[in-house]
Amino acid sequence: MKTAFIDFLTRLGPLAGAGLLLLLTTACGTGGKADDPSPESFAAPTPYVLLVPPLFPKPLPQPADNPLTVEGIELGRHLFYEKALSLDNSKSCGSCHQQSKAFTDGLARAEGVGGTRHARSAMPLQNLLWEPRLTWDGAHTSLEQQARVPIENPLELHQPLTAGVTRLQKLAKYPDLFGKAFGTSRITEERVLKALAQFERTLVSGNSRFDRYNRGDQDILTPDEVRGMELFSIHPNGRIRGGNCSDCHGGTLQTDRNFRNNGISSSFGADLGLGGLTGKSTDNGKFRVPSLRNIALTAPYMHDGRLATLEDVLDHYNEHVQFSSPNLDPLMLNTTNDPLQISPNLELTAQEKRQIIAFLHTLTDEDFVKDPRFAAPE
């Protein structure tokens, strides 16, 4: 009887079903859980207080209908590493987003189920609480909404979430985990996405040597690293030398959260970046400015992973910017250490490049990549 009733509701569709249940409960005034005719005895989930590292800006407002809870985050962690969410049980979110690599995969372009290749490189997952727009072209504004995309994309986990939910229902651990997180053991697409988003929100990296230096531990960086930091943050003008990095990768977050064309291509192929999303030709070739936190762990670099090492990246900005690239950022055009301000190139010395790279290594947060809270469950 109970099963038949639920089947009936399922056929009605979730909204209509919920509406009907609401009507029923309102009519008889039982006050029971609206989405489960047989009461379950799950305690209310425990609110989770997320600690924001010192000096970080205030996180962006988060969805009121998905507050962080200890149990929600724990469920999210299980789902993040759950291979049943992929077509052939071969991959999870954690396959392309590996903790040891600041949640990237070490590949130029991400590899999906069956060895398919994505057009873009897997982005690191860190400090997402401060990101107003997600992925390389900013196509998504909420983690709940975004989480569905890689699960269902044929080039990634390649399985409709509805099928994933059916498979989760057959795994013994999930009814209890969902019950603890959401009050009832019912497994739904919405709950999967909410739990994944909760887990992702806890991935905060803020304890690199760079952070500790900024918090006052002035001896923690070597002179070369400090000089690298200065060069990193200075826009050169012929009188003062600089690497021109922090106009875009600035501040505590190490990103301006903008979209820019940094001149890696003189023309664009199929992937127009922001322009593909907005349809504006003036946005073509613009991609998200990624945070440089943990950058030493996230090779290869750029949206398509075309640059293998940090040395290659420095060489790009110093001497390989494609000046004919449409919509090239003005910060790429007018930036040189040439005292006469004539050279088109940045004109860093080999030593300066080395010092900037030394500084980039100070952005590595060992605590973050070893934090057991973010690792695959036992």
Partner 1 sequence: MIFSRFAALAASLALGTMLLGSCNDKDNDPAAEPQKSVFSVELENTVGNRSLNLDTDTYTTPAGDQFTISTFKYYLSNLELLKADGSVVPLPDTYFLVDHANKASQKLQFSDVPAGDYTGLRLVVGVDSARTKAGNFSGVLGDDQGMWWAWSKEFINVKLEGTSPQSPKGGLVFHIAGFKGANGANNTIRTVTLPFPSGSKLLVRPDHTPEIHIKVDALKMFSGLSTIRFATVNNTMGGPASVQIADNIAAGMLTVEHLHAN
Residue 60 touches partner 1, criterion: CB under 8 A: no
Q: Which of 33, 344, 371, 376 binds partner 1 (CB under 8 A)?
A: 344
Exposed/middle/buried for 85, CB within 10 Å: 0-12, 13-18, 19+? buried
For the bound state, the minimum distance from the C-beta of residue 310 to partner 1, rounded and expressed in Å, comes to 20
* 28 marked as binding residue: no
Tell me the chain's radius of gyration from C-alpha atoms: 24
Residue 318 touches partner 1, criterion: CB under 8 A: no
Contact, 190 vs 161, CB < 8 A? no
Question: b/e map of 96-127 (b: 16 or more CB within 10 Å)?
Answer: bbbbebbbbbebbbbbbbeeeebebbbbbbbb
Residue 257 touches partner 1, criterion: CB under 8 A: yes
Nearer to partner 1, 86 or 284 (CB): 284
Residue 315 touches partner 1, criterion: CB under 8 A: no
| Cα–Cα dist 285/375, whole Å | 35
Q: Which of 170, 342, 350, 378 binds partner 1 (CB under 8 A)?
A: 342
For the bound state, the minimum distance from the C-beta of residue 128 to partner 1, rounded and expressed in Å, comes to 14
Handedness of CA 20, 24, 29, 32 (dihedral sign): negative
Residue 130 touches partner 1, criterion: CB under 8 A: yes
Residue 335 touches partner 1, criterion: CB under 8 A: yes
What six digits make up the tokens of 43? 């305690």
Q: Which of 22, 23, 24, 333 binds partner 1 (CB under 8 A)?
A: 333
SS3 assignment, position 116: coil
Q: Which residue ranges make up the annotated binding site for heme c? A: 93, 96-97, 245, 248-249
- Footprint on this chain of partner 1 (rule: CB under 8 A): 57-58, 130, 230, 233-235, 237, 239-240, 246-247, 250-253, 256-258, 280, 282-283, 323, 327-335, 341-342, 344
